[in-house]
């Protein structure tokens, strides 16, 4: 046993008081830093330093590349003729009618695929509502999706094998009485 150690000697002071003081100072400094980034109320979103404005995609202009006729039943009676843009490459089919703000009912887009098969479209980046008509290799309309939802990533499937898809403004098929079982005919310019 150490003879110099006395039981009545006070225990060395700890740095507990200093620790508390430093912790409080850190909390106060943190509060001021956070309020600088969040604003006075502390409830706004963080402000980013990126001041570069988003570039808006210019609205594509319609380019007539052909004509399409909707025919009733077995194709004996013309229902309606429209001007069409044609999307026959992967990139043009992917882009489709994206970023178009409007289109009158004398225009539409015809998507042509290399072979008939299950097709599925969505409305991502598509501003206006559309009617989508899926058409088989015999040019018979096999599925119509009416009044599709703009900007939606919901899938609009063909249900049956399709080689063509026609997109027209929403309400077109209702207005002109176009239904599944009707046909299309088209010509390219």
**What is the per-residue pLDDT across 71-97, written as a single tens digit (0 to 9) for each?**
998 778 999 999 999 999 999 999 899
Shared domain check, 165 and 111 = yes
Tell me, yes or no, whether 73 and 146 share the same domain. Answer: yes
Q: Is residue 84 part of a domain?
A: yes
The answer to whether position 61 is within a domain reads no
pLDDT in tens, 136-164: 999 999 999 999 999 999 999 999 999 99
Which residue range forms the structural domain that includes residue 117? 66-188
The number of distinct structural domains making up the chain is 2
Q: Judge if 89 and 167 occupy the same domain.
A: yes
Q: 25 and 105 share a domain?
A: no
The span from the CA of 136 to the CA of 158, in Å, is 9
**Is the domain of 33 the same as that of 116?**
no
150 and 102 within one domain? yes
Is residue 179 domain-shared with residue 94, that is, in the same domain?
Answer: yes
Whether this prediction's pTM lies above 0.75 is answered by: no
**Phi, psi torsion values for 44, nearest 5 degrees:** -85, 165
Is 33 part of any domain? yes
Q: Are residues 160 and 95 in the same domain?
A: yes
């Amino acid at each position: 046993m150490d003879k110099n150690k006395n039981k009545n000697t006070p225990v060395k002071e700890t740095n507990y008081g200093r620790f508390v003081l430093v912790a409080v100072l850190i909390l106060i400094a943190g509060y001021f830093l956070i309020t600088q980034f969040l604003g006075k109320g502390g409830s706004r979103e963080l402000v980013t330093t990126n001041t570069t404005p988003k570039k808006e995609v210019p609205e594509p202009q319609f380019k007539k590349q052909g004509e399409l006729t909707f025919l009733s039943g077995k194709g004996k009676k013309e229902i309606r003729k429209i001007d069409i843009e044609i999307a026959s490459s992967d990139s043009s089919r992917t882009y489709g009618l994206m970023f178009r703000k409007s289109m009158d009912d004398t225009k539409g887009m015809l998507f042509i695929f290399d072979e008939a098969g299950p097709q599925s479209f969505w409305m991502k980046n598509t501003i206006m509502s559309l009617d989508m008509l899926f058409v088989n290799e015999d040019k018979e309309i096999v599925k119509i999706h009416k009044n599709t939802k703009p900007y939606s990533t919901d899938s609009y499937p063909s249900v049956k094998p399709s080689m063509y898809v026609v997109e027209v403004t929403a309400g077109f098929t209702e207005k002109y009485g176009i239904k599944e079982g009707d046909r299309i005919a088209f010509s390219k310019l």
